[in-house]
Amino acid sequence: MIEPRILEVRTKILKKNDELARAMRREFESLGLLVVNMVSSPGTGKTSFLRETLSRLRARGIPVAAVVGDLETDNDARRLAESGAPVRQIMTHGLCHLEADMVQSHLAGWNLADLHYLFIENVGNLVCPTSWDLGESVRLALLSVTEGEDKPLKYPGLFNTADIAAITKTDLAAACEFNRELARANIEAVRPGMRIIETSVKTGAGIDEWFDYLAEKRRALEARTA
Amino acid sequence: MHELSIATSIVDIAWEQARQQGGGRVTGVTLRIGRLSCVHEDALRSSFDLVTEGTPLAGASLAVIEVPVRIWCGPCNAEFELPGIQRFACPACGHLSGDIRAGRELDLESIQIAPDQIAADTPEAKQPEPS
Ligand SMILES: Nc1nc2c(ncn2[C@@H]2O[C@H](COP(=O)(O)OP(=O)(O)O)[C@@H](O)[C@H]2O)c(=O)[nH]1
Ligand SMILES: [Mg+2]
Ligand SMILES: [Zn+2]
């Protein structure tokens, strides 16, 4: 009797997304565009931090744009548009993460070569966005002082794929009895060597350090493609 | 529920591969899933059953090979397997290392293909084929 055959496939399950994301990153980087993918739980402060980032970069004359993923509403896109930057909403209709083709299709008509930075606010979720490369050069994981210091240990997969972490809402740290050292140690445990910034949109803390980081990354990208 | 997207991709690739091999029915898939990949196995199984229902892959088995995290330790000049994913420290010397050598896999390792007429005779092939 003929047995079923085993066919070795050895293929990345998300190959299609990976390939598209790689091609997108090549294009972005060749244009001198630094793309940032922002991931965190809902309510951590992605939209607030991004709006602050867009407003301040624009005030410095730096061309920026953003796309924001949301399950059903366009509230975040409207809040971000207050910065004056071009903003587009990606409605995911229940999908818990963004995928590369969704980002690509929402960039149509923008002259990417004129932009220095493009920010992607991912859907608020600490698990699902992990495996989807969106063509970004920088993945920013955010964690607020109100969430508890052990978040990185509960979601190591996500923190482990990040390039930089932001601890947000530091203006509330004292009220939440936030243990800063412990939070930093937990991030370090799951992603040794990762840069950590401490931010607040109320006090403006950490924003300059964030901009220094972005500028440094963009210079590195320009040097690579020059 | 990102497992639904993953299950859909698995089915697409398995189907395409079987077709390239001249047809036959896919009766099983084997995955390699790294412990850092954030895939919940039970959720993936239900998603797989859901997306294969009513297709030629209906009833296909799903096997998962779990891949532990391996890091490179500079001071020890050696690679180590980690017992968990919450502390990327060398089990020998305690050095924290971000140099990850394994554990992020999300791969379709192999598929099992039964020739159509054989498949029709096997007990698993209860689903009628839309041939
Ligand atoms: N005190 C304080 N509140 C903040 C800060 N950043 C965000 N928030 C508040 O946290 C809530 C959720 O913020 P949002 O930006 O919508 O989070 P997102 O879901 O991650 O996009 C809102 O009520 C914000 O006003 C901050 O730095 N300090
Ligand atoms: Mg938001
Ligand atoms: Zn060691």
pLDDT of residue A132: 96
The model's pLDDT over B61-108, given as tens digits with 9 standing for 90+, comes to: 999 999 999 999 999 999 999 999 999 999 999 999 999 999 999 999
Test B111 with A1 for CB contact under 8 angstroms: no
Residue B111 Cα, gap to closest chain A Cα (Å): 5
pLDDT of residue A224: 84
pLDDT of residue A226: 73
Exposed, middle or buried, B54 (CB in 10 Å: 0-12/13-18/19+)?
Answer: exposed
Of the candidates A152, A17, A130, A192, the one whose C-alpha atom is nearest the C-alpha of residue B34 is A130
Distance separating alpha carbons of residues B57 and B130, to the nearest angstrom: 11
Task: Give the bridge partners for B71, in sequence order.
Answer: B80, B100
Is residue A135 situated within a structural domain? yes
Nearest chain B Cα to A157, which residue? B36
DSSP string, chain A: -PPPEEEEEEEETTHHHHHHHHHHHHHHHHTT-EEEEEE--TTSSHHHHHHHHHHHHHHTT--EEEEEEESS--HHHHHHHTTSS-EEEEE-TT-SS--HHHHHHTSTT--GGG-SEEEEE--S-SSGGGG---S-SEEEEEEETTS-TTHHHHSHHHHHT-SEEEEE-GGGTTTTT--HHHHHHHHHHHSTT-EEEE--TTT-TTHHHHHHHHHHHHHHHHHHH-
Contact B25, B129 (CB under 8 A): yes
A120: phi then psi, degrees, rounded to nearest 5: -115, 115
Domains in chain A: how many in total? 1
Alpha helices (H) along chain B: 3-20, 41-52, 116-121
Residue B126 Cα, gap to closest chain A Cα (Å): 16
Distance separating alpha carbons of residues A161 and A164, to the nearest angstrom: 9
Mean pLDDT for chain B? 89
**In this complex, which of B89, B96, B113 lies closest to A7 when CB atoms are compared?**
B113
Cα distances (Å, whole numbers) of residue B29 to A95, A132, B40, B64: 25, 22, 17, 9
Test B114 with A4 for CB contact under 8 angstroms: yes
Is residue B46 situated within a structural domain? yes
Cα distances (Å, whole numbers) of residue A158 to A69, A155, A165, B8, B36: 17, 6, 11, 22, 8
Task: Give the bridge partners for B79, in sequence order.
Answer: B72
Is residue A11 situated within a structural domain? no
Distance separating alpha carbons of residues A185 and A183, to the nearest angstrom: 5
Q: Is the CB of A44 under 6 A from ligand 1?
A: yes
Is residue A10 situated within a structural domain? no
Residue B38 Cα, gap to closest chain A Cα (Å): 6
Evaluate if residue B119 carries a pLDDT over 50.
no
Nearest chain B Cα to A17, which residue? B9
Is residue B74 situated within a structural domain? no
Residue B61: domain span: 3-68+103-114
Is residue A7 situated within a structural domain? no
Spell out the residues 6+ positions from residue A179 whose beta carbon is closer than 8 angstroms to its own.
Answer: A149
Evaluate if residue B5 carries a pLDDT over 70.
yes
Whichever domain contains B46, its CATH number is 3.30.2320.50
Whichever domain contains A47, its CATH number is 3.40.50.300
The model's pLDDT over A4-31, given as tens digits with 9 standing for 90+, comes to: 899 999 999 999 999 999 999 999 999 9
Is residue B96 situated within a structural domain? no
Which of the four pLDDT bands, split at 50, 70 and 90, describes residue B1?
low
Residues of B at the A interface, defined by Cβ within 8 angstroms: 1-2, 5-6, 9-10, 13-14, 17-18, 21, 24, 27-28, 31, 36-39, 85-89, 96-98, 100, 104, 106-115, 118-119
pLDDT of residue B122: 46
Which of the four pLDDT bands, split at 50, 70 and 90, describes residue B131?
very low
Distance separating alpha carbons of residues B60 and B118, to the nearest angstrom: 15
Is residue A161 situated within a structural domain? yes
Domains in chain B: how many in total? 1
**In this complex, which of A12, A96, A190 lies closest to B106 when CB atoms are compared?**
A12
> Does this model's pTM top 0.90?
yes
B23: alpha, beta or left? (left if phi > 0; alpha if psi -120 to 50): left
Is residue B75 situated within a structural domain? no
Evaluate if residue B21 carries a pLDDT over 90.
no
Is residue B88 situated within a structural domain? no
pLDDT of residue B67: 97
Is residue B77 situated within a structural domain? no
**In this complex, which of A13, A95, A157 lies closest to B107 when CB atoms are compared?**
A13
CA A150, A156, A160, A164 dihedral sign is negative
Is residue A164 situated within a structural domain? yes
Is residue A3 situated within a structural domain? no
pLDDT of residue B103: 96
Q: Whose CA is nearest to atom 23 of ligand 1?
A: A43
Which of the four pLDDT bands, split at 50, 70 and 90, describes residue B130?
very low
pLDDT of residue B117: 56
Residues in chain A predicted with pLDDT less than 50, given as ranges, are: none
pLDDT of residue B12: 95
Q: How far is the CA of A153 from the centre of ligand 2 (A)?
A: 23
Mean pLDDT of B53-59: 91
Q: How many helices (H) and strands (E) does chain B have?
A: 3, 6
> Beta-carbon neighbour count of residue B68 at 10 Å?
14
Residue A39: domain span: 17-219
Q: Is the CB of A69 under 6 A from ligand 1?
A: no
Contact B44, B62 (CB under 8 A): yes
Q: What is the predicted ipTM?
A: 0.86
Is residue A38 situated within a structural domain? yes
**Chain A residues touching B6 at Cβ < 8 A:** 13-14, 131
Exposed, middle or buried, A212 (CB in 10 Å: 0-12/13-18/19+)?
Answer: exposed
